[in-house]
Structure 1
Amino acid sequence: MAGAECHCLSDGPENRLDWYRRSPKFQTRKRFPLLPRPFPRKTPVAPQPGAGHMGSSLLSRRSALLAGLGVLLPAAVSNAQPRHRQRHVAPARLTVLSFAGRITQTQKAVLFGPYAHMAHHPIALHPWNGSLDSLRQQEAHHPGRIAACMMETSSLHMACGIDLLAREGADTPANACGKPSASIDYAMAWDHARLDSPPNWADFWDVARHPGRRGLRNDPRTTLEVALLADGVPPDMLYRVLSSPEGVNRAFQKLDQIRPYIAWWSTPEDAGRILKSGGALMGLVPTGEILGDDPTNRQRFGLYWPQRLQVHYSWGLPLSSATNATCLSLVTWLEEPAQQQAFANAWPSLPSMQDIALTETKTGPIPPPTQLNDSFWNTALPTLAPRFQRWARLP
């Protein structure tokens, strides 16, 4: 088939066939279950006339992909014996873009350490901010260098729509190119030593009673939601309000009240660093940045559990790396449910019994987090992001 490529993929106890189809605008990848491992050792059969080139090509690609997973083809696939022992070549290092701080530390322990041991491919984790501009620069100046990138799910969908990431042909949405692989809670944190009682989002906005800077994300996502929570909008009504121009204006007007006091952050690690360094009195932070810290900092900060947000992240495959079997193997492995569960189990996200008792005494049982609505942001972000950045740059 013109314009198509096939690869055999071994992943865990199951093998799959990965199918590519190229077009001038995008590239698709599909996965099909194949035979269970182990592969039976068979005596090689001489190629049929006219099939030699295709068979050789597929075998070469299959070998490369299995090598990416640390699986060696049986020696019997070739009758030719090397005259001399070949020199060992170190496996290529796979470069992955992720978020510095507790997220990367957790991923090293439960994802990339085990994968490097299994597949015999060392992983180099590079910190980044998850923005489309950063990904665009990587693709423009270093094509084929990045094996995988962790992105907020709505950012991933946008990157796919502008051909920065390879699309997943099995997904239903027209611009889908991945599936959520991690969920991280964001909550308001504060310094116990600087506040007499636990604050809520209304207190976060009360700079007269609680003077000091506030840490917020330099992005409309999570920030507009928090502004509406502070303005009294119930969590289950957030996106109904944000879906109207009046609701968006309401969120920006609420943010106007504290704009001079905001300490902006761009990455999860920045959110925790600003708070721990004393750069803000209160701030929106990933709960794991506080819960996973050393005992001193863990006891130093409180978390407001009732109205927290949950953000979804996915693994993207850069378009320039989509035909690299080793990169595809890594992204496919990261998307498997077992890896999602491993990260969820290791990422600290649950309140302590003391936090539960304190919260339930004041507000009742702790509700589940409010999910960031990726469908809403897939549509609204191209419009709201430029407006938000213009607003944030105002003097």
Structure 2
Amino acid sequence: MTTMTPAVRPANACFSSGPCAKRPGWTPTVLHDAALGRSHRAKIGKAKLKLAIDLTREVLGVPVDYRIGITPASDTGAVEMALWSLLGARGVDVLAWESFGEGWVTDVVKELKLKDARTLKAPYGELPDLAEVNFDRDVVFTWNGTTSGVRVPDANWIPHDRKGLTICDATSAAFAQELDWPKLDVVTFSWQKVLGGEAAHGVIILSPRAAERLQTHTPPWPMPKIFRLAKGGKLIEGIFEGETINTPSMLCVEDYLDALHWAKSLGGVKALIGRADANAGAIAKWVERTPWIDFLARAPETRSNTSVCLKVVDPAVAALPADGQGAFAKALAGLLEKEKIAFDIGSYRDAPPGLRIWCGATVEAADVEALTRWLDYAFALEKGRLAKAA
């Protein structure tokens, strides 16, 4: 443990888990062709929105019979649209092992007030028992827990012959983790995560089974306009051709198109997954050789390669009360922010005290490696201060 200042600084200090780092080489000049001052319903606006949908399908490898729509209100809006539009036809299992999954539990149980709703929960760092999920029912889950760094290892636990729909919040997984499309009926994400797009827009992807549900099921509750995917027993097909429900930012659309073109130039989703894996791998190598830090996710196969959540396990820090542990972690993050080494790496407000480092595809592995040296430096300084105060 040394307090010698590291010689190498990350070239990009943006390690926030959303909005995330812009792609390497990004500058505002990439937005020069944005349809500013034009209607999103004009030919140019519709063309750009349709191109965003088509490139999303191409880069992610979405099946041709799945529909893709652009939604308001980021990933939250897309998930809410799915819950309000699709649930109520049968019982539902809702899985939660971190903050956003808990949010979907609240919506299903307290807002929609579904009587036949069952929750399967696990503490931070773990997954619920996936074998307990009943796929005769609809199932709502996050693929990757952004605030816990815990993801489902694969989709093998989801049967092909399920009767219910699977509704998957994949916002910190899409473009960085392999999504098994035949096992997923609804997938949502936002542009601001793995591709580093600007916030406020979401994407919803529907399987043919989900589309059928929309046409045969009428929810018993009032449906806000921004959630309406069907009318009179028919899908509003324009939504899936670029006719958004509300007015999108054409500047944000242009930024998303730039990110998609960048992803395509790398080789698509496989290349993006490889970059995220390399970044998370740099963290894993550091954790392996560093006694004071560990992953929040207990099982290696469930560790996220995007929102990597860590806990300080040094005995002197672990012996502190919870608020003391939180203060120590905040001091580490604060020191590195002051030095402009890493921004926004504190754990989520509802999560256990610790650090959260974004390792998605727009981050460079060299920057992650440089960050780990500065983390050791910050820890040595704060540990020294803790010893003096004892």
TM-score (norm: length of structure 1): 0.28
For CA contacts below 8 A with separation 6 or more, give which structure has more relative contact order. 2
TM-score (norm: length of structure 2): 0.28
